[in-house]
Amino acid sequence: MLCAPLALFGLFYASAVTGLAIQKRAVDFFDPAQGGGSIFDNATFGGEPLNVIISGQSSPDVLTDDGILNYAQAIGFSKECLGLHLGTPQTANLGDGNGSLNQTIEFRQDFGNDFLGTCFESLLGGNHFRVWRQNGPSANSGALFLAVSKEQDASANHDLVDDGYNIGRNELVAAAVGTKSHGGVTYNTVAKNITGLMPAGSDGVNHGIAVDGVITLLTVTIQDS
Ligand SMILES: *[C@@H]1O[C@H](CO)[C@@H](O)[C@H](O)[C@H]1NC(C)=O
Ligand SMILES: *[C@@H]1O[C@H](CO)[C@@H](O)[C@H](O)[C@H]1NC(C)=O
Ligand SMILES: *[C@@H]1O[C@H](CO)[C@@H](O)[C@H](O)[C@H]1NC(C)=O
Ligand SMILES: *[C@@H]1O[C@H](CO)[C@@H](O)[C@H](O)[C@H]1NC(C)=O
Protein backbone atom coordinates (compact mmCIF):
# COMPACT_ATOMS: atom_id res chain seq x y z
CA MET A 1 0.00 0.00 0.00
CA LEU A 2 1.17 3.54 -0.74
CA CYS A 3 1.77 6.08 1.98
CA ALA A 4 0.15 8.92 0.11
CA PRO A 5 0.74 11.72 -0.21
CA LEU A 6 4.17 12.05 1.36
CA ALA A 7 5.74 9.18 -0.54
CA LEU A 8 4.32 10.56 -3.76
CA PHE A 9 5.66 14.04 -3.16
CA GLY A 10 8.98 12.51 -2.12
CA LEU A 11 9.28 10.73 -5.42
CA PHE A 12 8.41 13.91 -7.24
CA TYR A 13 11.13 15.95 -5.55
CA ALA A 14 13.70 13.18 -5.78
CA SER A 15 13.40 13.05 -9.53
CA ALA A 16 13.32 16.84 -9.84
CA VAL A 17 16.63 16.96 -7.97
CA THR A 18 18.30 14.28 -10.02
CA GLY A 19 17.05 16.00 -13.18
CA LEU A 20 15.48 12.97 -14.83
CA ALA A 21 14.13 13.54 -18.30
CA ILE A 22 10.47 14.53 -18.37
CA GLN A 23 9.46 11.93 -20.93
CA LYS A 24 8.07 9.87 -18.10
CA ARG A 25 6.27 11.36 -15.09
CA ALA A 26 7.69 10.91 -11.63
CA VAL A 27 4.54 10.06 -9.68
CA ASP A 28 1.82 7.44 -9.95
CA PHE A 29 -0.90 9.97 -9.03
CA PHE A 30 -1.85 12.47 -6.33
CA ASP A 31 -4.60 11.70 -3.81
CA PRO A 32 -7.52 13.89 -4.99
CA ALA A 33 -8.67 14.49 -1.40
CA GLN A 34 -5.41 16.30 -0.63
CA GLY A 35 -6.37 18.96 -3.17
CA GLY A 36 -10.02 19.29 -2.22
CA GLY A 37 -11.23 16.66 -4.69
CA SER A 38 -12.71 13.21 -4.22
CA ILE A 39 -12.07 9.58 -5.17
CA PHE A 40 -15.79 9.45 -6.07
CA ASP A 41 -17.25 11.23 -9.09
CA ASN A 42 -20.68 12.91 -9.18
CA ALA A 43 -23.40 10.85 -10.78
CA THR A 44 -27.20 11.04 -10.65
CA PHE A 45 -27.79 9.17 -7.41
CA GLY A 46 -24.50 9.71 -5.58
CA GLY A 47 -20.91 9.16 -6.62
CA GLU A 48 -19.27 6.38 -8.59
CA PRO A 49 -15.86 5.15 -7.36
CA LEU A 50 -12.75 6.07 -9.34
CA ASN A 51 -11.67 2.48 -8.79
CA VAL A 52 -8.88 2.09 -11.35
CA ILE A 53 -5.99 4.52 -11.86
CA ILE A 54 -3.61 4.35 -14.81
CA SER A 55 -0.35 5.49 -13.31
CA GLY A 56 1.33 8.72 -14.39
CA GLN A 57 4.47 6.57 -14.60
CA SER A 58 3.00 4.66 -17.50
CA SER A 59 4.48 5.26 -20.96
CA PRO A 60 3.44 8.86 -21.83
CA ASP A 61 1.80 7.76 -25.09
CA VAL A 62 -0.72 5.65 -23.13
CA LEU A 63 -1.97 8.71 -21.24
CA THR A 64 -3.07 10.77 -24.27
CA ASP A 65 -6.64 10.68 -25.69
CA ASP A 66 -5.54 8.62 -28.70
CA GLY A 67 -3.32 6.48 -26.49
CA ILE A 68 -6.04 5.53 -24.02
CA LEU A 69 -8.39 4.76 -26.92
CA ASN A 70 -5.92 2.32 -28.46
CA TYR A 71 -5.17 0.81 -25.05
CA ALA A 72 -8.89 0.43 -24.30
CA GLN A 73 -9.26 -1.40 -27.62
CA ALA A 74 -6.33 -3.65 -26.72
CA ILE A 75 -8.15 -4.76 -23.56
CA GLY A 76 -11.61 -5.19 -25.12
CA PHE A 77 -13.25 -1.76 -25.06
CA SER A 78 -13.96 0.87 -27.69
CA LYS A 79 -15.73 4.22 -28.01
CA GLU A 80 -19.44 4.19 -27.44
CA CYS A 81 -21.69 2.60 -30.05
CA LEU A 82 -21.76 4.83 -33.18
CA GLY A 83 -20.74 7.79 -31.06
CA LEU A 84 -24.11 7.81 -29.32
CA HIS A 85 -24.07 8.58 -25.69
CA LEU A 86 -26.67 7.16 -23.36
CA GLY A 87 -27.02 9.17 -20.21
CA THR A 88 -25.53 12.40 -18.99
CA PRO A 89 -21.81 12.86 -18.40
CA GLN A 90 -20.56 12.54 -14.86
CA THR A 91 -18.22 15.03 -13.25
CA ALA A 92 -15.20 14.56 -11.02
CA ASN A 93 -12.78 16.75 -9.11
CA LEU A 94 -9.31 15.18 -9.02
CA GLY A 95 -7.96 17.83 -6.65
CA ASP A 96 -5.51 19.09 -9.27
CA GLY A 97 -6.72 22.69 -9.39
CA ASN A 98 -8.96 22.16 -12.43
CA GLY A 99 -12.05 21.81 -10.27
CA SER A 100 -15.00 19.66 -11.25
CA LEU A 101 -14.91 18.48 -14.88
CA ASN A 102 -17.01 16.27 -17.15
CA GLN A 103 -15.54 12.89 -17.99
CA THR A 104 -13.05 13.08 -20.85
CA ILE A 105 -14.34 9.99 -22.63
CA GLU A 106 -16.36 6.85 -22.02
CA PHE A 107 -15.51 3.36 -23.19
CA ARG A 108 -17.70 0.29 -23.40
CA GLN A 109 -16.80 -3.35 -23.76
CA ASP A 110 -16.71 -4.12 -27.47
CA PHE A 111 -17.21 -7.90 -27.61
CA GLY A 112 -14.48 -8.29 -30.19
CA ASN A 113 -15.56 -5.67 -32.74
CA ASP A 114 -14.24 -2.12 -32.44
CA PHE A 115 -17.03 -0.47 -34.41
CA LEU A 116 -20.17 -2.47 -33.78
CA GLY A 117 -19.27 -4.34 -30.63
CA THR A 118 -20.26 -1.52 -28.32
CA CYS A 119 -23.77 -1.60 -29.81
CA PHE A 120 -24.05 -5.14 -28.51
CA GLU A 121 -22.82 -3.94 -25.15
CA SER A 122 -25.61 -1.36 -25.07
CA LEU A 123 -28.13 -4.13 -25.73
CA LEU A 124 -26.57 -6.91 -23.71
CA GLY A 125 -25.01 -5.08 -20.82
CA GLY A 126 -21.35 -5.26 -20.02
CA ASN A 127 -18.44 -3.43 -18.63
CA HIS A 128 -17.76 0.25 -19.16
CA PHE A 129 -15.62 3.05 -17.79
CA ARG A 130 -15.36 6.82 -17.77
CA VAL A 131 -12.01 8.64 -17.75
CA TRP A 132 -10.65 11.78 -16.13
CA ARG A 133 -7.07 13.07 -16.47
CA GLN A 134 -5.19 14.52 -13.48
CA ASN A 135 -3.27 17.31 -15.17
CA GLY A 136 -4.34 20.49 -13.42
CA PRO A 137 -1.84 23.11 -12.30
CA SER A 138 -1.50 21.92 -8.68
CA ALA A 139 -1.27 18.12 -9.11
CA ASN A 140 -0.05 17.39 -12.61
CA SER A 141 0.58 13.63 -12.44
CA GLY A 142 -0.85 12.87 -15.88
CA ALA A 143 -2.60 9.85 -14.34
CA LEU A 144 -5.96 8.71 -15.70
CA PHE A 145 -8.72 8.03 -13.16
CA LEU A 146 -11.32 5.50 -14.30
CA ALA A 147 -14.82 4.94 -12.93
CA VAL A 148 -15.44 1.32 -13.90
CA SER A 149 -18.77 -0.46 -13.53
CA LYS A 150 -20.62 -3.40 -14.95
CA GLU A 151 -24.18 -2.94 -16.24
CA GLN A 152 -27.12 -5.21 -16.94
CA ASP A 153 -28.66 -5.29 -20.43
CA ALA A 154 -30.77 -2.51 -21.96
CA SER A 155 -34.04 -4.05 -20.81
CA ALA A 156 -32.88 -3.34 -17.27
CA ASN A 157 -32.29 0.28 -18.35
CA HIS A 158 -28.53 0.13 -17.81
CA ASP A 159 -28.76 -0.60 -14.14
CA LEU A 160 -25.61 -1.90 -12.59
CA VAL A 161 -25.31 -5.54 -11.69
CA ASP A 162 -25.11 -6.33 -7.97
CA ASP A 163 -21.58 -5.51 -6.84
CA GLY A 164 -21.15 -3.83 -10.25
CA TYR A 165 -18.27 -1.55 -9.23
CA ASN A 166 -16.03 -4.24 -7.73
CA ILE A 167 -16.84 -6.72 -10.50
CA GLY A 168 -16.32 -4.12 -13.23
CA ARG A 169 -12.91 -3.21 -11.78
CA ASN A 170 -11.83 -6.84 -11.38
CA GLU A 171 -12.89 -7.75 -14.91
CA LEU A 172 -11.15 -4.74 -16.46
CA VAL A 173 -7.96 -5.49 -14.52
CA ALA A 174 -8.09 -9.18 -15.45
CA ALA A 175 -8.41 -8.18 -19.13
CA ALA A 176 -5.55 -5.69 -18.85
CA VAL A 177 -2.73 -7.38 -16.94
CA GLY A 178 0.07 -9.01 -18.86
CA THR A 179 0.85 -8.41 -22.53
CA LYS A 180 -1.83 -7.08 -24.92
CA SER A 181 -1.58 -5.62 -28.42
CA HIS A 182 -3.72 -3.43 -30.67
CA GLY A 183 -3.07 -1.14 -33.62
CA GLY A 184 0.57 -2.20 -33.80
CA VAL A 185 1.27 -1.30 -30.16
CA THR A 186 2.13 -3.88 -27.51
CA TYR A 187 1.42 -3.07 -23.87
CA ASN A 188 2.71 -4.64 -20.69
CA THR A 189 0.42 -3.93 -17.72
CA VAL A 190 1.19 -4.48 -14.05
CA ALA A 191 -1.52 -4.17 -11.35
CA LYS A 192 -1.21 -3.20 -7.71
CA ASN A 193 -3.99 -2.66 -5.19
CA ILE A 194 -4.23 0.44 -3.03
CA THR A 195 -6.32 0.66 0.12
CA GLY A 196 -6.86 3.57 2.46
CA LEU A 197 -7.84 6.20 -0.12
CA MET A 198 -11.42 5.07 -0.72
CA PRO A 199 -13.86 4.29 2.08
CA ALA A 200 -15.54 0.91 1.78
CA GLY A 201 -19.33 0.67 1.92
CA SER A 202 -22.32 2.20 0.15
CA ASP A 203 -22.47 5.60 1.85
CA GLY A 204 -23.08 8.23 -0.86
CA VAL A 205 -22.37 5.71 -3.63
CA ASN A 206 -24.49 5.87 -6.80
CA HIS A 207 -27.44 3.40 -6.61
CA GLY A 208 -26.34 2.46 -3.06
CA ILE A 209 -24.10 -0.32 -4.39
CA ALA A 210 -21.31 -0.99 -1.91
CA VAL A 211 -17.64 -0.74 -2.84
CA ASP A 212 -14.84 -2.72 -1.19
CA GLY A 213 -12.57 0.35 -0.96
CA VAL A 214 -9.87 -1.12 -3.20
CA ILE A 215 -8.36 0.95 -6.01
CA THR A 216 -6.27 -0.90 -8.57
CA LEU A 217 -3.29 0.99 -9.91
CA LEU A 218 -2.25 -0.05 -13.42
CA THR A 219 1.17 0.81 -14.77
CA VAL A 220 1.15 0.40 -18.53
CA THR A 221 4.41 0.20 -20.44
CA ILE A 222 4.63 0.19 -24.22
CA GLN A 223 7.05 -2.47 -25.37
CA ASP A 224 9.72 -1.58 -27.87
CA SER A 225 9.04 -3.33 -31.13
C1 LIG B 1 -19.78 15.56 -5.64
O2 LIG B 1 -19.14 14.51 -4.95
C3 LIG B 1 -18.45 14.94 -3.78
C4 LIG B 1 -17.73 13.74 -3.22
O5 LIG B 1 -18.59 12.65 -3.08
C6 LIG B 1 -19.42 15.54 -2.80
O7 LIG B 1 -18.72 16.02 -1.68
C8 LIG B 1 -20.15 16.69 -3.45
O9 LIG B 1 -21.13 17.16 -2.59
C10 LIG B 1 -20.79 16.24 -4.76
N11 LIG B 1 -21.34 17.42 -5.43
C12 LIG B 1 -22.56 17.39 -5.96
C13 LIG B 1 -22.95 18.66 -6.66
O14 LIG B 1 -23.31 16.44 -5.92
C1 LIG C 1 -20.64 19.02 -19.07
O2 LIG C 1 -21.65 18.34 -19.78
C3 LIG C 1 -22.91 18.97 -19.73
C4 LIG C 1 -23.94 18.06 -20.39
O5 LIG C 1 -23.51 17.65 -21.67
C6 LIG C 1 -22.80 20.32 -20.45
O7 LIG C 1 -24.04 20.98 -20.39
C8 LIG C 1 -21.75 21.15 -19.74
O9 LIG C 1 -21.56 22.35 -20.45
C10 LIG C 1 -20.43 20.41 -19.67
N11 LIG C 1 -19.51 21.16 -18.85
C12 LIG C 1 -18.29 21.45 -19.25
C13 LIG C 1 -17.45 22.21 -18.29
O14 LIG C 1 -17.85 21.11 -20.34
C1 LIG D 1 -6.38 21.42 -16.50
O2 LIG D 1 -5.29 22.28 -16.19
C3 LIG D 1 -4.24 22.28 -17.13
C4 LIG D 1 -3.09 23.12 -16.59
O5 LIG D 1 -3.56 24.38 -16.15
C6 LIG D 1 -4.76 22.75 -18.47
O7 LIG D 1 -3.72 22.70 -19.42
C8 LIG D 1 -5.90 21.83 -18.89
O9 LIG D 1 -6.46 22.29 -20.11
C10 LIG D 1 -6.97 21.76 -17.84
N11 LIG D 1 -7.95 20.77 -18.26
C12 LIG D 1 -9.22 21.07 -18.51
C13 LIG D 1 -10.07 19.96 -19.00
O14 LIG D 1 -9.65 22.19 -18.34
C1 LIG E 1 -7.03 -6.51 -5.77
O2 LIG E 1 -8.15 -6.67 -4.95
C3 LIG E 1 -9.20 -7.42 -5.56
C4 LIG E 1 -10.38 -7.39 -4.62
O5 LIG E 1 -10.03 -7.84 -3.35
C6 LIG E 1 -8.70 -8.81 -5.85
O7 LIG E 1 -9.73 -9.55 -6.48
C8 LIG E 1 -7.49 -8.73 -6.76
O9 LIG E 1 -6.95 -10.02 -6.98
C10 LIG E 1 -6.42 -7.85 -6.18
N11 LIG E 1 -5.39 -7.62 -7.18
C12 LIG E 1 -4.10 -7.53 -6.86
C13 LIG E 1 -3.17 -7.24 -8.00
O14 LIG E 1 -3.67 -7.64 -5.72
**CB-ligand 2 contact for 89 (6 Å cutoff):** yes
Single pTM value for the model = 0.84
Residue 28 or residue 206, greater confidence: 28
pLDDT of residue 114: 61
Task: Tell me, yes or no, whether 39 lies in a domain.
Answer: yes
Query: Could you give the CA distance from residue 49 to residue 36 in angstroms, rounded to a whole number?
Result: 16
pLDDT of residue 88: 74
Task: Tell me, yes or no, whether 138 lies in a domain.
Answer: yes
Task: Tell me, yes or no, whether 8 lies in a domain.
Answer: no
Average of per-residue pLDDT across 14-27: 52
The answer to whether residues 30 and 141 touch, using CB atoms and an 8 Å cutoff, is: yes
Q: What percent of the chain has pLDDT over 70?
A: 73
Identify the domain containing residue 112 by its residue range.
Answer: 27-222
Residue 155 or residue 70, greater confidence: 70
Q: Which of 193, 195, 211, 215 to mutate to test the pocket of ligand 4 (most atoms within 8 A of CB)?
A: 193
Mean pLDDT for the chain overall? 82
Rounded to the nearest angstrom, the distance between the alpha carbon of 170 and the centre of ligand 4 is 7
Which listed ligand is nearest to 89 at the C-alpha? 2
Task: Tell me, yes or no, whether 9 lies in a domain.
Answer: no
pLDDT of residue 20: 41
Q: How far is CA 8 from the centre of its chain?
A: 19
Is pLDDT above 70 for 208?
Answer: yes
pLDDT tens per residue, range 110-128: 666 665 556 555 555 578 8
| Amino acid at residue number 108 | R
Task: Tell me, yes or no, whether 143 lies in a domain.
Answer: yes
Task: Tell me, yes or no, whether 21 lies in a domain.
Answer: no
Rounded to the nearest angstrom, the distance between the alpha carbon of 157 and the centre of ligand 3 is 34
The answer to whether residues 149 and 172 touch, using CB atoms and an 8 Å cutoff, is: no
Confidence of residue 85 (pLDDT cuts 50, 70, 90): low
pLDDT tens per residue, range 145-161: 999 998 765 555 556 67
Rounded to the nearest angstrom, the distance between the alpha carbon of 142 and the centre of ligand 3 is 11
Domain count, the chain: 1
Task: Tell me, yes or no, whether 93 lies in a domain.
Answer: yes
Instruction: State the chain's maximal CA–CA distance in angstroms.
Output: 56
Task: Tell me, yes or no, whether 3 lies in a domain.
Answer: no
Q: How many CB atoms lie within 10 A of CB 76?
A: 21
Average of per-residue pLDDT across 181-208: 95
Is pLDDT above 70 for 210?
Answer: yes
